[in-house]
Structure 1
Amino acid sequence: MAFSSRLSIYLIALGAFSLGMASYVTAGLIPLITPAFLVSDAMAAQLVTAFTLAYGLVSPIVVALLPGHQQRTGLILALAIFVVANVASALATSFVTLMAWRALAGVGAGVYLALGIAASAALAPEAQRGNAIAMIMGGMASGTVLGVPLSLLLAEQLGWASAMWLIALLGAISLAGLYYKLPDIPEAPYISLRRKLVILKHPTTMTILAVSLLAAVASLGMYTFISPLIAASTSGSPPTIALYLWVWGVGGILGSFLIGPVVDKSQGSSVVLTIMLILAVSLISLPIAAALHPWLALVPIALWGAVGWALQVPQNNALMHVRKPHGDGNLAVALNESALYLGSAIGAAVGGLMLASAFPLWTLALSAGALAASGALLQLTMHKRSH
């Protein structure tokens, strides 16, 4: 791979790092935002909703409308919007304007990640495409696991706005580097919006997206309830919940980076099938391991984090491969990201309803594992159909 292409992929990954911070830091800033704007915790939480809805619902529409010959411009413009929105968030003087800027940041983030994955795949040789996508997903995972705690520590010392400034600074460094170093991305053929919408009728594409959705409901949905599950499943004095969250996150970073070479050397559909099976087993075994010994629960949690984050590398790679003849791989990736956010919301909502209905907490893990197993079965069906 040429040095300029490799450098560009690293710069895109840095932007993804700042995106990972922005996606999850707001929830941790709520205790600092509520007194600053004199709003309730419930109202402040809507900042997360504004970001995620804009990311998951609006960004695919923007990607669909973007002309094929403007991929480089679109990538840089999306990151510029993301940076400006975070700067404006830090300077916001009213809660309404802050929410509007968080929504705009969500749009910029969603468009940037979709175009960034597509650009990385286009810049890398075919035999190294999985590794390139893994670099971007690893950057986002690192931003979530390492960047969020760092920005929250900064916010505790300097105020909530300092977290936004840090996100904007990292995004701006990536933006400057990409503006000067990102080479031209091969132009995609012109495709009308009507033809792009045909993607929703393509069986293989929709099956890949369905597997991503099921995995997100199971993995990200269950993550919402990891604290009460550990507390209810363990006896004695379990380690602090932060340790479990760190193990999950570090597993995610390792999984995101290490899966790249595996995807490049193996058949993508079999990799996804293996990941979904491991996800199912780790979720189902979590309450059992926690009941046996608090420290034993770290094993399924590490596996869960690793495969949960790793999954999107072969998924995005498969979508880029399937949609290459149609010229709309970036739209497929944007839809895949939407499936993740939608799945996370569904998982959290269903889990909340189960708890409100007095279901034991272990049934959440069992249900999440069953959903992952159904995703594995769907993947197996697609794997057999392709052979």
Structure 2
Amino acid sequence: MKQQNMGAVFLIALGAFALGMASYVIAGLVPMIVSDFSVSVATAGQLVTAFTLAYGIGSPVFVAMLPAHKQRLGLLIALAIFTVANLASALVTNYAVLIVTRIFAGVGAGVYLAMGIAASAALVPKDKRGKALAIIMGGMASGTVLGVPAGLMIAEQFGWASTMWLIAILGLVSMVGLAIKLPALPASEASTLREKFAILKDRKVTLILTVSLLAAVSSLGLYTYIAPMMANESFGGISNITPWLWVWGIGGVVGSFLIGPIADRVSGPKLVVIIILMLAVSLAALPFTAGINAWLAMVPIAIWGAVGWALQVPQNNQLISAREGLGGGNVAVALNESALYLGSAIGAAAGGLIFAFQLGGWALPFAAASVAGLGLLLQLVALKSDGIFSANKPASCSSS
């Protein structure tokens, strides 16, 4: 791996750190925003909705619209939009305008991460691709686990806008560094927008995306309700969930970084089977360990965080490999990010129904484990089928 290219990968990861921070810190800033803009909590919460919808829906569309020969420029423009939008968020005094800035930040973030993952894969030899992708995902995980609490502490001292300033500064440093160090990226094949989205006809791509969706439903959906779940008497009646959240997050950071060398040595489909099996087992083990002692539940929670974050390294690696020589790798990665956000939303909604029908504390982790088990079953069937993973078969369309 050339040293210059490695430096560019770390700069992309710095931008991913800022992205991870921006994705989750707003939820913690809601009370301050309510006070500053004199809006309700429900209204302020729509800032998160605006960002995530723009991220999940806008990302694949705008990635597909990028000119084939402007991949490097597209990445830099996406990061610039993300940076300027966060700077604008810190400066605006009107709530409606603030919503608009979060929409732009979400689009910029989604396009940047998809382009950054694809760029990192292009910058290194194929046998080092897993390591490069792990650095990017590790950057995003670190932004969530370390950046969010740091941002909240800064906000408590200097106001919520100071956190937006910090995110903008991190984005700016990454952007300037990439403008200097990022080499030219390979041009993708020229094709129409319709042809690019026709990659969904590729069975291998759709299977990978479906597995990512199911994993997100189980992992991110359950995470939404980890606090009320652990507050249940059968889980130890925890009133302060913070230590368990830290364990989940630290597990995610460790898993994101450690999966890289493994992904370069173990077949992607087989590695996904192992990861999803560990996810299903850890989720199913939660009620039993918590029933013995709430602190013991930290073990499956740490494993859950580690494998939940680690999964996307082999998934993105497979998507890029699946489209090599066919085009559309950038769009496939963007669709994978959309699958994660959609899965999180579905999981949160399903978890809400479980609570609404008062099905009991154990129902939630068992339901999440069952969804992960469905993803595992799908992966095993595909692994044993007649060659979905044995070769990169051309799709029935031309795409880029």
> Which whole-Å deviations, capped at 9, do the CAs of 1:133-168 have from their partners, x for residues lacking one?
000000000000000000000001100101100000
Percent identity of paired positions between Structure 1 and Structure 2: 60
Residue 327 of structure 1 aligns to a residue in which SS?
A: coil
**Residue 231 of structure 2 contacts residue 239 of structure 2 at CA under 8 Å; is this kept in 1?**
no
In structure 2, the partner of 1:145 is 145
Pair 1:139–1:210, CA change in 2 (3 A):
same
The one-letter amino acid paired with 2:136 is: I
Q: What's the offset of the Cα at 1:240?
A: 3.3
> Which whole-Å deviations, capped at 9, do the CAs of 1:282-326 have from their partners, x for residues lacking one?
111101110111111000000000000000000000000001122
Which sections of structure 1, spanning at least 5 residues, go unmatched?
Answer: none
Residue 361 of structure 1 aligns to a residue in which SS?
A: coil
In structure 2, the partner of 1:287 is 287
In structure 2, the partner of 1:372 is 372
**Residue 271 of structure 1 contacts residue 314 of structure 1 at CA under 8 Å; is this kept in 2?**
yes
Q: What's the offset of the Cα at 1:327?
A: 1.2
Q: Report the RMSD for the aligned CA atoms in angstroms.
A: 1.1
Alignment of 1:217-236 (within 5 A): 217-234=217-234
**Residue 271 of structure 2 contacts residue 314 of structure 2 at CA under 8 Å; is this kept in 1?**
yes
The one-letter amino acid paired with 1:318 is: Q
Q: What's the offset of the Cα at 1:382?
A: 1.4
In structure 2, the partner of 1:194 is 194
Q: What's the offset of the Cα at 1:3?
A: 1.1
Q: What's the offset of the Cα at 1:194?
A: 2.2
**Residue 18 of structure 1 contacts residue 140 of structure 1 at CA under 8 Å; is this kept in 2?**
yes
**Residue 16 of structure 1 contacts residue 136 of structure 1 at CA under 8 Å; is this kept in 2?**
yes
Counterpart CA distance in 2 for 1:326 and 1:308 is: 29
The one-letter amino acid paired with 2:271 is: V
Question: Does residue 1:41 correspond to 2:41, yes or no?
Answer: yes
In structure 2, the partner of 1:254 is 254
How high is the TM-score relative to the length of structure 2? 0.95
Alignment of 1:118-133 (within 5 A): 118-133=118-133
**Residue 230 of structure 1 contacts residue 287 of structure 1 at CA under 8 Å; is this kept in 2?**
no
Counterpart CA distance in 1 for 2:44 and 2:287 is: 32
Task: State the number of aligned residues.
Answer: 387
In structure 2, the partner of 1:357 is 357
**Residue 316 of structure 2 contacts residue 333 of structure 2 at CA under 8 Å; is this kept in 1?**
yes
Counterpart CA distance in 1 for 2:236 and 2:362 is: 18
> Which whole-Å deviations, capped at 9, do the CAs of 1:181-209 have from their partners, x for residues lacking one?
10011111212222112111111100000
Q: What's the offset of the Cα at 1:44?
A: 0.3
**Residue 229 of structure 1 contacts residue 287 of structure 1 at CA under 8 Å; is this kept in 2?**
no
Pair 1:159–1:309, CA change in 2 (3 A):
same
Residue 185 of structure 2 aligns to a residue in which SS?
A: coil
Alignment of 1:52-63 (within 5 A): 52-63=52-63
In structure 1, the partner of 2:108 is 108
Which sections of structure 2, spanning at least 5 residues, go unmatched?
Answer: 391-400
Q: What's the offset of the Cα at 1:237?
A: 6.9
Counterpart CA distance in 2 for 1:236 and 1:21 is: 30
Alignment of 1:1-387 (within 5 A): 1-234=1-234, 238=238, 240-385=240-385, 386=387
Residue 68 of structure 1 aligns to a residue in which SS?
A: coil
Counterpart CA distance in 2 for 1:287 and 1:231 is: 12
Residue 189 of structure 1 aligns to a residue in which SS?
A: coil
Counterpart CA distance in 2 for 1:336 and 1:235 is: 33
Counterpart CA distance in 2 for 1:304 and 1:231 is: 19
Counterpart CA distance in 2 for 1:206 and 1:313 is: 17
